[in-house]
Structure 1
Amino acid sequence: MSTAVVRAEIERFIQSSAPEVLCISGQWGVGKTYSWQTFLKEAERVGRVGLSRYAYVSLFGLTSLGELRNAIVENTVNKGSSSVPDASSLHEIIRKGETFARKSRPALEIAAGFFRMKDAGDALYREAFLTVRNQLICFDDLERAGKALEMRDILGLTSMLREQRHCKVVLLLNKEQTKPEEAKELQRQLEKVVDTFLLFEPTSAEAAAIAIVGTDPVAEKLRDRLVALGVTNMRVMKKIERWARLIETEVVGVETEVVEQAVVTVVLAGWCFLQPDLAPGLDFVREFNSTTGLFRREDEPEERKKWREILSKYGYRTTDELDAAIIDGVAIGYFRGDDLRAAAQALGERLKRNRRKDSFSLAWELFHSSLTTDDDVILDAMVAGAMENLGEISPVNMNSGVRFLRRYGREAQASELVVKYIDANRSKPDFFSKWNRFFHDDPVDEELLAAMEAERTAIVDARDPAEMLKQMARTSGYNPDEDSARLSRLTADELVQLFDGNAADDVKGMMEWADRLASHPGALGMRASLDEALARIAARSPMRADRLRSWGVLPANEKPDGPDADPAASEDAAADAAAVTAAANNDVPTENDGGEEKPK
């Protein structure tokens, strides 16, 4: 049923004062509640509500008719049908209930005796419920009522409110969520009570028009992109809109194109996160590039092919720093403002530099969109475009270009392009140390991979070993492969100098992390060099050896030897190592042979 028909029937229902029951059914999240409340507010704004009092009641968790009646009382408002109930509105309806009760005191006293109502509060609520008449009532979440509150009881109360209290009642429910054995009985009961049935299943465009209001650029872009993905769940739409507005406040003042890209990405990421059964995972989006995987799609699983096609039709090309910051924010539940602003500003600067389409992008467009252009023309355009934009092309896109040229026989030009690309970007900070973070499992051209890795290795080898170990001790963070490879290049002499050249407060942590890295498979000869360096330091004195044992970097049974060994060192140092270790670590006191407690 189209949204226009549903809207027209709801508007007719709201404007009329005749008692009747309207049932609106639809799946969770399609916007039944939101649409009802929106249409009601619009009718109230233009003065077209047929009744003066209104109550909205969610049955979620209610367990008895008594609770349901009380909820109607608590949520009834008198001033404006969509006003928010509060203590004042509750006081007013209870006061009216008391007035009504005084006029019918004999009947109420008999009823009170029959029901044995001892609680004054309960009596007040029952008196107040007597005033519920000639009003509009919305029962929401019928299928989520407590187990003790049966559907027949709810519909019985609904019928009573219509027949005896002259009320208008709208029922909002998702019939598909009822148990199969209860579905037929529910339908039978509904047919007895309900005057009008509406099935609410809006199209994506209809849902977006209701959920996303406004004519500003962000609202327009949100509606357009939600429809492009076919999203119909209004709850999802509203959450995505909230994220989009948060991002909008963080990137205020940047280029319009930056804001538009942010909206495109947050809609896609939000859809993937909130509707995982219908969308690809966030990792797929984070890794996606429309040009990578171009020549291996026959090997892809069918599901990945489907997601790739959806993202390509959506217009998502690749994940840059701004996209990554947005995807991360959706995944963890909040956005890091500093990261968003930095990425947005960087993208804005790139857009200013590239206001016109660069020749490399035009070459790709020529490949994707033209069947009449000669192959050599496209390949020449690819080479020329890449050469003209060496400093602006990302490693991911350069990889696609190089592999494209090799596929169609331009081996020499592809290799030349790799060399010039490395030269053009060598002076950029962090360019090579972070170059591969968006490649993931996509194939990388062997020459490009080797060249980029060589540059990255040179950066890794230039790091100061002492600062590396200090940083590990401070943060407990490290890269096992890179860090162990760097430290494996140190000789025993260099390790001794490294430990001797730093303050005592740092050395313990440095040794512990060096020992941990020496156990890594990629450490190569580091284990032998480190053991030799520690043995030399331990050989300087028994106290140094005991201290290293207490730190856990020197085996307890290892005797110090070497040119620096102290000839007067005790032969039972190894036997005392455990005691010294415990004392150094503030463990339980140990005793000497004389039974006296050793000092800690």
Structure 2
Amino acid sequence: MSTTLVRAEIAKFLSNPTPEVLCIRGNWGTGKTYSWNGALLDAAKNKAMTNSRYAYVSLFGVNSLVEAKQDIFHGSVDREKIGNAFDPSEVGKNYENVSTITKIGANVLDKWTGNTGVGASIVSLSIRDQLICFDDLERRGPSLQVGEVLGYISQLKEERQCKVVLLLNETQLGNRPDFDRYLEKVVDINLRFAPTALECSEIALPGTDKTSEIVKHYANRLGIDNIRIIRKIHRLVELIADKLSAYEPEVLESVAKSIVLLGWSHFAPETAPPLSYLRSKQSPWADILPVGDEVDPPDPKVQGWKAVLRKYGHDYVGPFDLVLMDGVVDGYFDQESIDIHATHLHRRTKIEAANIALRRAFERFDYSFTRQGDESVADLCDVFRKNVEYVALVWIPHVIKPLRTLGYTAEAQELIDLFFRQNEGNPLAFSMADLRDSGHELPEDVRQRCTDILQAQKPEYANAEILRRIGNSAEESFLAEKMLGVTVEEYLSIFRSHEGEALAAILRGASYGRSITNPTPTEVEIMDRAGEALRTLAAESPIFEMRARTWGLIQRLEAEETAERGE
């Protein structure tokens, strides 16, 4: 039942003079207490509740009905005082009321109500004809039984003409069948409180500031329906927002998206994909590369986590995510670590903005029967010039071919020269690896200029360093050609002489071709020979085999051999 419907039912309950017991049950943190307090305050202000007195009692840690009765007595206030801060003078009025009822002097009464059952019985005489809310039953002390509480609630209704509200976290009730039997006998109105994630986020963050809006958006996408968790996540996003003030707004948006997921995983591991699972997904092909010989059927829980991440658009955890994960767990973020990754993310947002600008320019260029050539070419060239710092090589064939086809050769050459000047000293800008899957070829003169630059600036790396650099940055995949002719024995030597992250980076480089739809012959050769080396290592011990098969290169060779045999 949504927030609106529950509040409507609460309003009916409060306006009805008949003594009744209302139960509002739902998951932890969904806003049961918040919604009850809001509806109660509205009714009190509008004089739409029949009871003239009210008490709220949290049973958290309460070990006896004596304590509960004393809390009701001390917490009872007049209807007009509902929502006000605690006023000690109200407790004094409650004592005066009991003294009047019992004819016992205030000094004697004070002695009896210290901590005894006699005192609790005396003060409880004043508990009648009022509204009482019991919260946190599932967190009561170990000595207080559910049956005792429900029995007392029944007594309050039947003998004291009280209206009683019971707020329950139904996921932590323990012996549920016994509890349900008790509840059925006592409760008159039983409401299931199940607000939507959007309703919970609006309750948690009623503001319209930038960080609140971002957190609400992503919390809703993940279906987070716990108000406390949403507020904790919002605090983390506000913490990091201060550290990202020097960057583009899109950087905060991207970082906040990660923090909402990571915060959910940290604060609610029983419902969210846990952090341990997220740490296992540190590459785009983490779900493709098998671990050992996986023959067990997929775990439904893991499949569910994968579906959540896919729908959220967060298929794997990158290096920046790992830094953010540490911050979420620690409760603070290190500025230096943030800056290292935020600078890269800042550039990525600029690149994406340039890509969007060029795509829109091409929409104007391609789809018009009113704009003539000079106007369209001027627009396209202007967009290219303004964004050249963030234009990737893959755009060159898209831009240059139509210009040359239409005879605008001078403009085409100007843009080519501008691109090369802008990226002078940055050989990675001339890597042609990304063009392989784009379906477009560089003009021959541009291709030759790129090749000359790469050959002139490419340092001489050892074979292990080449694989490591490819593994750490796909942008350096052009180095793969240096591995042509390297023997299986050399791969074996490389794998045996490295450990830890250094070896992991090398193996990522060796298996880089598995992440590409159409790997080059060079990348195929690297995978073949690295796979043979790993197969040799796998034969040496079971643990070596488990480690070697993690990268999928042995399985790739086996699949090819099976296909060749026609099996």
User: Structure 2 length normalisation: TM-score?
Assistant: 0.58
In the alignment, which of 126, 132, 135 is matched to residue 137 of structure 1?
132
Contact 2:134-2:165 at 8 Å conserved across structures: yes
The letter for the 2-side match of 1:141 is D
Once residues 15 and 422 of structure 1 are traced to their aligned partners in structure 2, the CA distance between those partners, rounded to angstroms, is 84
1:51 correspondence with 2:43: no
* Deviation digits for residues 49-76 of structure 1 (CA, Å, limit 9, x no counterpart): 4434332222222221111111222333
Distance of aligned partners of 1:97 and 1:279 in 2 relative to their CA distance in 1, 3 Å threshold: same
* 1:8 paired to 2:8: yes
Q: Does 1:405 align with 2:436?
A: yes
Q: Deviations over 1:210-268 (max 9, x none)?
A: 33322333323222211211222333223222323333444457543233223212211
Q: Distance in 1 between matches of 2:350 and 2:438?
A: 33
Q: Which residue of 1 aligns with 2:541?
A: none
Match of residue 191, structure 2, among 192, 198, 201: 198
Aligned pairs, number: 417
Query: Which residue in 1 is equivalent to 2:329?
Result: 331
C-alpha distance in 2 between matches for 1:416 and 1:48: 82
- Which piece of structure 1 moves more, 232-241 or 36-45? 36-45
Cα pair distance change 1:358/1:407, threshold 3 Å = closer
Letter in 1 for 2:100: T
Taking the aligned partners of 2:457 and 2:137, their CA distance within structure 1 comes to 66
Return the offset for 1:415: 12
Inter-CA distance 23–407: structure 2 relative to 1 (3 Å threshold): same
Code of the aligned partner of 2:155:
M
Question: How much does 1:12 deviate?
Answer: 2.3
**d(CA) in 1 for partners of 2:454, 2:37:** 58
**Change over 3 Å in CA distance of 1:384–1:10 after alignment to 2:** farther
Q: In structure 1, what residue type is equivalent to 2:235? A: R
Shift of 1:288: 5.8
Distance 1:311 1:359, change over 3 A: farther
More deviation in 13-22 or 413-422? 413-422
What is the DSSP-based 3-state SS (H/G/I as helix, E as strand, rest coil) of the residue aligned with 2:355? coil
Alignment of 1:35-46 (within 5 A): 35-44=35-44
- Which of 256, 261, 265 aligns to 1:268? It is 261
Query: Which residue of structure 2 lines up, in the alignment, with residue 561 of structure 1?
Result: none
* Structure 1 partner of 2:288: 297
Give 5+ residue unaligned stretches, structure 1.
363-378, 427-431, 452-478, 483-600
Which amino acid in structure 2 is aligned with residue 140 of structure 1?
A: D
**Residue identity in the other structure for 1:311:** L
Partner of 2:373: none
TM-score in terms of structure 1 length: 0.55
Q: Which residue of 1 aligns with 2:158?
A: 163
The equivalent of 1:488 in structure 2 is: none
CA distance in 2, matches of 1:305, 1:449: 38
Alignment of 1:341-490 (within 5 A): 347=345, 351=349, 355-357=353-355, 381=394, 402=433, 405=436, 445=477, 447=479
CA contact (8 A) 1:135 1:168 kept: yes
- Structure 2 CA distance, aligned partners of 1:155 and 1:286? 45
CA distance in 2, matches of 1:395, 1:16: 78
In the TM superposition, residue 330 of structure 1 has moved relative to its aligned partner by 0.4
CA gap of 1:154–1:298, structure 2 versus 1, over 3 A, is same
1:187 corresponds to:
180
Q: Map Cα deviations across residues 13-38 of structure 1 (whole Å, 9 max, x no partner).
A: 23445421101122333332333234
Q: Is the 8 A contact 2:282 2:318 kept in 1?
A: no
Counterparts of 2:480 and 2:139, CA distance in 1:
58
Worse-superposed segment, 4-13 or 37-46: 37-46
Shift of 1:95: 3.2
Q: Would the aligned equivalents of 1:286 and 1:327 in 2 still touch at CA under 8 Å? A: no
Secondary structure class of the residue paired with 1:356:
helix
Distance in structure 2 (CA, Å) of the matches to 1:176 and 1:257: 38
Aligned residue in 2 for 1:486: none
How much has 1:324 moved relative to structure 2? 4.8
Aligned-partner residue type, residue 447 of structure 1: L
Residue type of the partner of 2:228? Answer: R
Compared with structure 1, are the counterparts of its residues 118 and 198 closer, same or farther at alpha carbon in structure 2 (3 Å cutoff)?
A: closer
2:31, 2:200 within 8 Å by CA — same for their partners in 1?
yes
The alpha-carbon distance between structure 1 residues 383 and 153, as it changes in their structure 2 partners (threshold 3 A), is same
1:533-548 equivalence runs, <5 A: none
How far residue 279 of structure 1 moved from its aligned partner, in angstroms, is 3.3
Task: Tell me which amino acid in the other structure corresponds to 2:83.
Answer: S
Describe the shift of the 1:234–1:354 C-alpha distance in structure 2 as closer, same or farther (beyond 3 A): closer
- 1:137 maps to a residue whose letter is I
What residue number does 2:378 align with? none
Residues of 1 paired with 2:18 and 2:428: CA distance? 66
- Separation in 2, partners of 1:21, 1:396: 71
Q: Does 1:279 align with 2:277?
A: no
Q: 2:114 & 2:258 partners in 1: Cα distance?
A: 57
Does the 8 Å contact 1:19/1:167 carry over to 2?
Answer: yes
Check conservation: 2:57, 2:71, Cα contact below 8 A: yes
1:146 corresponds in structure 2 to: 141
Q: Which runs of 5+ in 2 are unaligned?
A: 361-391, 400-415, 460-464, 484-499, 504-567
1:259 is aligned to 2:290: no
Aligned to 1:230: 223
CA distance in 2, matches of 1:325, 1:169: 49
Residue of structure 2 in register with 1:70 after alignment? 70
* Alignment root-mean-square deviation, CA: 5.2
Question: In the alignment, is the contact (CA less than 8 A) between 2:128 and 2:160 conserved in 1?
Answer: yes
Question: CA 1:120–1:450 in structure 2 vs 1: closer, same or farther (change >3 Å)?
Answer: same
> Which protein has the larger Cα radius of gyration, Structure 1 or Structure 2?
1
The residue aligned with 1:581 is: none
CA contact (8 A) 1:406 1:414 kept: no
Equivalence map 1:96-115=2 (5 Å): 96-102=97-103
Indicate if the aligned counterparts of 1:286 and 1:319 stay in contact, CA closer than 8 A.
yes
Determine the structure 2 residue equivalent to 1:27: 27
Q: 1:276: Cα distance to partner? A: 2.4
State the shift of 1:158 in Å.
0.9
Q: Which amino acid aligns with 1:100?
A: I
Matched residues in 1 for 2:76 and 2:482: separation? 72
Within-5 A mapping of 1:212-231:
212-231=205-224
**Cα contact 2:112–2:119 (8 A) shared by 1:** no
CA–CA separation in structure 1 for the residues paired with 2:129 and 2:9: 20
Q: State the shift of 1:438 in Å.
A: 9.8
SS for the counterpart of 1:240 is helix
Structure 2 equivalent of residue 580 of structure 1: none
In structure 1, what is the Cα distance between the partners aligned to 2:275 and 2:430? 24
Match of 1:80 in 2: 81
Q: Which has the higher contact order (CA 8 A, sep 6+)?
A: 2
Asked if 1 retains the 8 angstrom alpha-carbon contact of 2:6 and 2:193, the reply is yes
CA–CA distance in 2 between the matches of 1:310 and 1:4?
A: 28
Q: Look up the equivalent residue of 1:357 and give its one-letter code.
A: N
Aligned partner of residue 173 in structure 1, secondary structure: strand
Q: Structure 1 289/69 Cα, relative in aligned 2: closer, same or farther at 3 Å?
A: same
Q: CA deviation at 1:270?
A: 0.8
The 2-side partners of 1:97 and 1:395 are apart by 87
Query: Would the aligned equivalents of 1:402 and 1:417 in 2 still touch at CA under 8 Å?
Result: no
User: Structure 1's 118 and 223: CA in aligned 2 closer, same or farther, altered over 3 A?
Assistant: closer
Q: How does 1:112-123 map to 2 (within 5 A)?
A: 120=114, 122=116
What is the CA-CA distance between 1:405 and the residue it aligns to? 2.7
Residue pair 2:470, 2:480 contacting (<8 A) in 1 also: no
